[in-house]
Structures are given as C-alpha cells and as structure tokens.
Structure 1
Amino acid sequence: MAALLVLGTPAVVALPATAVHAQSSDLDRAVTALRGITTMKADFSQTDRSGASVNGVLTLKRGGKIRFEYERGTNMLVVSNGKSLYLVDYDVDQVQRWPISKSPLGALLDPSRDVKQYGKVVSTGNPDVVSIEVRDKDRPEFGAITMIFVRDAKSPGGLKLTHWVALDAQNHRTTVRLRNHRYGVAVNDNAFTFRDPRRSSRRPR
C-alpha cells in the first residue's frame, strides 16, 4: 500500500464544505462499487518492494472470497474462504493463515466494515481517479491498503478498481494491478479451497 504521509505541522486546515462533501461522496461510491461486485475475474500483476513481478488471475466473490492463481512456475497460492486468508507455499510445504480482519486485504474483502469505518479519500488531482486509503490507526499491525479506482460507467457503482498498494505490519509494500475485468462470471465455491501441502493433512481447506 501507499506510504503513509505524516504532516509535521500542528495546524489544522479546514476543507471547504464542497470538498468535504465530494470526499464523502467518493468514499460512498467506492463502498458501493466494491459491494456491487458479486463475482469478478481479472488478470493481475503483483510487484513486491524489490521490484520483482509475477502475473496471474484473480477471482473474487461476494462474501470475502478471493483467489490469486499465479502463473506457471510460481508454486504458491493466496486464497480466502470468506473467514481466513491463506498463503500456501508448495515449494516448502507451508501454509500461513490470517483472519481476514487482520490482513490489509480485509478492506477489499469486507468493504461494508473496513472501508466506511477506516477509509479516507486521498486527493489525486484527477477528477476521474478516486484513491481510498484504509487503515486502523489503533491497530497498525493490521497494515494498510490504498485502493485506486477510475470512473467507468460499465463497472459496478460506476468505479473500476484498477490497482491497490498494500503495506503489511513489517512495512513490506506490494502493488497489485488489475486488467481485463470480467464481472458476473460463474464462480464455484470450490475455487476458494486449496490442497494442503503439509504431510499431516491432504484434505482441501
């Protein structure tokens, strides 16, 4: 996610009423856009803090379900079943798990809670681009996420999520860019299970 900007001045600058209203409206539109996605598939490109990139296909389904299917040669999987987010590394036979609420992706997977409660609009200088930063100031260990939308009448809520920048508790930055969005596609809940590589269990989670 985008780096957090800390202003080193105690002065408080009041925004014009029209600007405050516009920001509130954009936040509402972002929540509407995310909640309007029943299912979505999109191609993604993920870039880490070192600049290394990997591609794949993202599948999203209402109810907090998401799957990052990485390209051939990347033996890992990120998947959420609506309750927990899993990072599955088949190279080392390991599985890491986080409750959705403790992941930066929580704002994307549960927009009705995280975006409205912890989100704020970040000015982009472009009326067609909406940037929403979501973080819980009282729980910095949960990380943060900045989601970027462009106005698009064909997308749910009139906004298309083009990319996001995630910052985890260790300040590791990951950028995910989306393209070729497909809305309303048929997605079976089996898409949000995985083969457990640990020897103690081979059953899908």
Structure 2
Amino acid sequence: MNYRFLTALALTPALIAAAPGDLGLVQTHLQAVQSMTANFTQTDRTGKVLTGVLTLKKPGKIRFQYEKGVPILIVGDGKALWFLDYSVGQKQRWPIGNSPLGVLLNPTRDISQIARVIPGGDPRIISVEANDPKHPEYGRITLIFARTASAPGGLMLQGWVALDAQNNRTSIRLGNQRFNAPVSDSTFRFNDPQRKSAAR
C-alpha cells in the first residue's frame, strides 16, 4: 500500500475528477468505524521518523503509543487531546473538537461542512482535506483512503497529513489496520508527567 499512500501525498494535478459521492463514502466509513488499531509511522517536518501503535475508540478517544525509548505520549480521553512529554515533565491540552483529528473521533459530525475531496491521479485513492475556515489556528488535515471492499464502508484509512497553524507538516502512515474490535476505556488513561516531575 505504500506506493498508493505516496501517490496520494504528492497531491498531483487533477487528472481524475472526484466522484460526486466520494465525500459521502468517507462519511459512511467514518460512521461505520467505532474502534481501530493500527501500526503507524510518523514523519515530522524535519524528516524525523517515529513508529508506534495507534488505538482509536469513538467518541473522542485516541492513543499514539510510541516505540520504546520515546518519552512522548498523545492521548485523547474523550474530553481533550493531551500531548505528554515525560522527559521534561510537561503536558499540553487541546479540546478534541479543536484538533484536526476531531474528524476521525466524532461519529456524528457532518464533515461536508469542513471537508472536501481533492482530485487526484489514482481512482483507487480518495483524499479528503478538512479544516475549519472560521478557525485557521486549528490547522488542517488531509485524510487518505484506499478503496477496499472488505473495510468498513468500502474504504481503508491509509494515513493523513496534518498542517498546524505554523504550517508545520506531520505525516502518518498506517499499517495492519483492524476495525471494530472491543477496546477498553483504560487504554486511554495516562500518568501525569507533571506529578512525576514534582516528585523528583
């Protein structure tokens, strides 16, 4: 699947127009996915690559568990998205709805209000860009799907590219996606790095 992902990332000039129903297909897929686990590869604006395991449970819960030795954790606990850095004992909080990832985490949201399909060069791929024009400070996300008959709604989420308000780019590529298996809420609990820092 990697070549498909890279094709979509290139966002080449429009060779194939988006089908009128493609955004509806994406909405159907998002509503059909109640949970997901996947391996992920993250590449930041400097080219640094990290790997780990992604766990998602709707509404509002997500966890990026990075590879061993990386002192960072990103968790959405249903109310907020937390960025935790255990190396310096810091945490940052964002409301889930303000994060571009909110598109993946809110099963009732009508994405047609904030998203559009980007025409591309491969009919097997659907790329959807989402951002809130009223709040550019929230950034934008481009979700990349492959048409896969066996996946929920006939689509497989391959990954995404996120741009923050400062135009810093982070890409996520997914593999070994598994959908709608039971996921415990305890998966989205975390240790407060500030408590550890204060205890030193």
> Hey, which bits of structure 1, 4+ residues long, moved more than 3 A?
none
Alignment partner, residue 13 of structure 1: none
Alignment partner, residue 189 of structure 1: 185
Instruction: Using the TM superposition, name which of 190-199 and 50-59 deviates more.
Output: 190-199
| C-alpha distance after superposition, 1:141-184 (max 9, x if no partner) | 01000000000011110000001000111111100000001112
Read off the aligned partner of 2:56 and give its amino acid letter: L
Identical aligned pairs, as a percentage?
A: 52
Larger radius of gyration: 1
Please point out which of 49, 52, 59 is paired with 1:53: 49
Alignment partner of 1:147 is 2:143 = yes
Change (3 A) 1:193 1:134: same
Q: In 2, distance between residues paired with 1:140 and 1:106?
A: 14
Q: In 1, distance between residues paired with 2:106 and 2:70?
A: 27
Change (3 A) 1:167 1:3: farther
Alignment partner of 1:85 is 2:81 = yes
Q: CA deviation at 1:42?
A: 0.3
Please point out which of 62, 74, 98 is paired with 2:58: 62
SS of 1:145's equivalent in the other structure is: strand
SS of 1:141's equivalent in the other structure is: helix
Alignment partner, residue 122 of structure 2: 126
Q: In 2, distance between residues paired with 1:118 and 1:174?
A: 20
Q: TM-score, normalised by structure 2?
A: 0.86
Q: TM-score, normalised by structure 1?
A: 0.84
Alignment partner, residue 37 of structure 2: 41
Read off the aligned partner of 2:156 and give its amino acid letter: K
SS of 1:31's equivalent in the other structure is: helix
Alignment partner, residue 163 of structure 1: 159
Change (3 A) 1:200 1:70: closer
Alignment partner of 1:75 is 2:71 = yes
| C-alpha distance after superposition, 1:108-142 (max 9, x if no partner) | 21254262210000001211100100011121101
Unaligned runs of 5+ in 1: 5-18
Change (3 A) 1:87 1:66: same
Q: CA deviation at 1:201?
A: 9.7
Please point out which of 92, 95, 111 is paired with 2:91: 95
